[in-house]
DNA sequence: TAATGTGAATTGTTTCACAGCA
DNA sequence: TGCTGTGAAACAATTCACATTA
């Protein structure tokens, strides 16, 4: 599959990681960064990094690597700049509040501009302005928001998803673990720690405790 | 790439999702579930679901679908049964505690059996038994634990990763967002909400077109 | 000489087309 | 008829080999 701009999905998923490291290099005053360096830090192959960057039209220079500023600009442009960096949070429970507090969970430049919940009244007096799901469409239109993080509990995750759809948003990051069902015209990325763990458990197989 | 048991990685990543739905069906008293049904709930193609299940040796029956009990057993076996369901949590900060509280974040059957932190003394009196990183190896050996969730803040995520390696664990779920560097013999899965959001933002593009 | 750049081969994954079965 | 089962084809992603250049 190929994204609207012609970048392979697999590449697109890696771009944010490159961007992060490149910005870091930039902030340390470096002007160049090598594919080897990026690869090693991300546990990827250097050739793959080069292919990815070259696919964006970023050209490096032998013996030095890739120019940090150009690369940063090109990747940011491909990821939509900071165009879509405003987000809604749907779900103000345990998980939602951890995301808001954001100690290590790393929304990295994305901005939670409003919080919605099925039962907003439960959160009065917590210093949070939690709104009912029904207000989402209105606010999305007024603020130009196009993405949401769905952090609803299992009981109402689907209801939250439906609200996101009804609000006309274009993308959702689903942390509900259900997973919630979205219509195909909405871009969805799902995060499910339980599933990831199960996957890892399958990967390492039924051995006994690791040696060493 | 093919996992130890011969199941493609892409399939392996979907197995936990199937398992969840199948168990749910089972708990509702259903004896059969169709690939169409599973596919629709997960936003996948039915053919893909059939390929995945057939790859595990699960055989269905025309007009009825796949037998819920068999499928459940086969998938669980492939994912290591409940063999590897004990976990360490590395990092007792905001994020780590949200995971412990687990309201919606869904560890789904996995068990956090011990919590480690670089500064365990910060968590005295919170009703948590937080241990120093140096104790991890010992406990891993004694309890037969082989996996960890890394939920350390940026400041010491790499230190946490190193401790996981030193403890001889076989797999880690890295939520640090750095990402932390692990040696290749350790199975790592990375979750990075910021990266996922950036990816989505790239997918939906700067306009208003949606793509999947 | 230490890096990038890239066509081609390889490997992995998804989808198709259609056979078989209850 | 409505589903599974599967070899083959199509597609996608990764890796290789080697040319290239400052």
> Each residue of A18-57: pLDDT tens digit?
999 999 999 999 999 999 999 999 999 999 999 999 999 9
CA atoms of B137 and B131, how far apart (whole Å)? 12
pLDDT at A208 over 50: no
pLDDT at B209: 40
Which residue of chain B comes nearest to A197, CA vs CA? B173
Q: What is the residue-level pLDDT of chain B in tens, covering all 212 positions?
A: 666 678 999 999 999 999 999 999 999 999 999 999 999 999 999 999 999 999 999 999 999 999 999 999 999 999 976 656 899 999 998 888 888 876 555 677 788 999 999 999 999 988 889 999 999 999 999 999 999 999 998 899 999 999 999 999 999 999 988 889 999 889 999 999 989 999 999 998 765 443 33
pLDDT at B105: 56
Is B118:B80 a contact under the CB 8 Å cutoff?
A: no
Is A69:A31 a contact under the CB 8 Å cutoff?
A: yes
Q: What is the pLDDT averaged over residues A148-162?
A: 94
CB contact under 8 A, B145 and A94: no
Cα distances (angstroms) measured from residue B170 to each of A201, B16, B29, B47: 9, 19, 37, 33
CB contact under 8 A, B80 and A202: yes
The phi-psi region of residue A75 (left if phi > 0; otherwise alpha if psi is between -120 and 50; otherwise beta) is alpha
Closest CA to B177 of A147, A41, A77, A134: A41
Chain A hits for B84, Cβ within 8 Å: 201, 204, 206
Cα distances (angstroms) measured from residue A132 to each of A84, A120, B40, B153: 23, 6, 28, 32
DSSP H or E stretch at residue B113:
strand B111-117
Edge-to-edge, what's the strand order for the sheet holding A86-90?
Answer: A130-132, A111-117, A86-90, A147-150, A171-174, A187-190
Which residue of chain B comes nearest to A148, CA vs CA? B197
CA atoms of A120 and B59, how far apart (whole Å)? 47
pLDDT at B126: 85
Cα distances (angstroms) measured from residue A56 to each of A27, A109, A112, B187: 22, 22, 29, 30
CB contact under 8 A, B99 and A193: yes
User: pLDDT > 90: what percent of chain B?
Assistant: 72
CB contact under 8 A, B12 and A202: yes
Which residue of chain B comes nearest to A199, CA vs CA? B13
Joined tokens for residue B168: 């001889």
Is B88:B112 a contact under the CB 8 Å cutoff?
A: yes
Give the mean pLDDT of chain A. 90
pLDDT at A211: 35
Would you call A103 exposed, middle or buried from its count of C-beta atoms within 10 A (0-12, 13-18, 19+)?
A: middle
- Residue B126 CA distance to nucleotide D18 C1' (Å): 61
pLDDT at A121 over 60: yes
Q: Which of B9, B40, B210 sits opposite A185 (nearest CB)?
A: B210
CA B212 from chain center: how many Å?
24
Joined tokens for residue A29: 């005053």
pLDDT band at A75 (very low <50, low <70, confident <90, very high): very high
pLDDT at A108: 76
Protein residues in reach of strand C (CB < 7 A): A 34-36, 46-47, 50-51, 53-54, 58-66; B 1-2, 8-11, 44-45, 47-48, 51, 61-63
Range name among A39-43, A153-157, A177-181, B67-71 with the lowest pLDDT average: A177-181
Phi/psi at B154 (nearest 5 deg)?
A: -55, -35
pLDDT at A95 over 90: no
Joined tokens for residue B121: 């003394």
User: pLDDT > 90: what percent of chain A?
Assistant: 71
CB atoms closer than 10 angstroms to residue B94: 19
B206 vs A176 pLDDT, higher one: A176
Q: What b/e string do you get for B109-142 counting C-beta neighbours within 10 Å, with b at 16 or more?
A: bbebebbbbbebeebeeeebebbebeebbebbee
Closest CA to A196 of B57, B83, B14, B50: B14
pLDDT at A111: 87
Shortest alpha-carbon distance between residue B76 and chain A (Å): 9
Q: DSSP H helical segments within chain B, as ranges? A: 9-27, 35-42, 46-55, 68-78, 94-101, 136-143, 157-166, 193-204
CB contact under 8 A, A107 and B198: no
How many CA within 13 A on the CB side of residue A79? 28
pLDDT at B57: 96
Q: What is the pLDDT averaged over residues A86-112?
A: 81
Q: Which of B90, B166, B187, B200 to mutate to test the interface with A (most CBs of A within 10 A)?
A: B200
The answer to whether B203 CB sits below 7 Å from nucleic acid chain D is no
Q: What is the pLDDT averaged over residues A185-191?
A: 93
Condensed to tens digits (0 to 9), the pLDDT of residues B56-70 reads 999 999 999 999 999
pLDDT at A35: 98
CA atoms of A5 and A2, how far apart (whole Å)? 8
CA atoms of B43 and B98, how far apart (whole Å)? 28
Joined tokens for residue A14: 């890696």
Q: What is the pLDDT averaged over residues A116-136?
A: 94
Using a 7 Å cut-off to protein CB atoms, list the covered nucleotides of chain C. Answer: 1-7, 11-17, 20-22
CA atoms of A53 and A206, how far apart (whole Å)? 38
């Amino acid at each position: 599959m190929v994204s609207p701009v012609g970048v392979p999905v697999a590449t697109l998923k890696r771009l944010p990681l490159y961007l992060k490291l490149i910005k870091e290099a930039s902030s340390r005053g470096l002007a160049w960064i090598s594919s080897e360096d990026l690869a090693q830090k991300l546990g990827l192959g250097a050739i793959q990094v080069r292919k990815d960057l070259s696919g964006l039209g970023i050209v490096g220079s032998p013996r030095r690597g890739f120019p940090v500023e150009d690369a940063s600009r090109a990747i940011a442009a491909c990821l939509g700049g900071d165009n879509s960096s405003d987000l809604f949070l749907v779900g103000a429970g345990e998980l939602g509040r951890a995301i808001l507090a954001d100690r290590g969970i790393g929304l990295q430049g994305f901005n939670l501009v409003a919080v919605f919940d099925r039962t907003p009244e439960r959160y009065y007096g917590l210093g949070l302005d939690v709104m009912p799901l029904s207000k989402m469409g209105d606010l999305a239109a007024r603020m130009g928001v196009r993405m949401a993080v769905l952090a609803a509990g299992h009981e109402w995750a689907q209801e939250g998803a439906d609200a996101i759809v009804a609000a006309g948003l274009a993308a959702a990051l689903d942390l509900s673990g259900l997973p919630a069902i979205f219509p195909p015209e909405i871009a969805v990325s799902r995060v499910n720690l339980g599933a990831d763990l199960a996957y890892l458990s399958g990967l390492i197989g039924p051995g006994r405790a690791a040696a060493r």
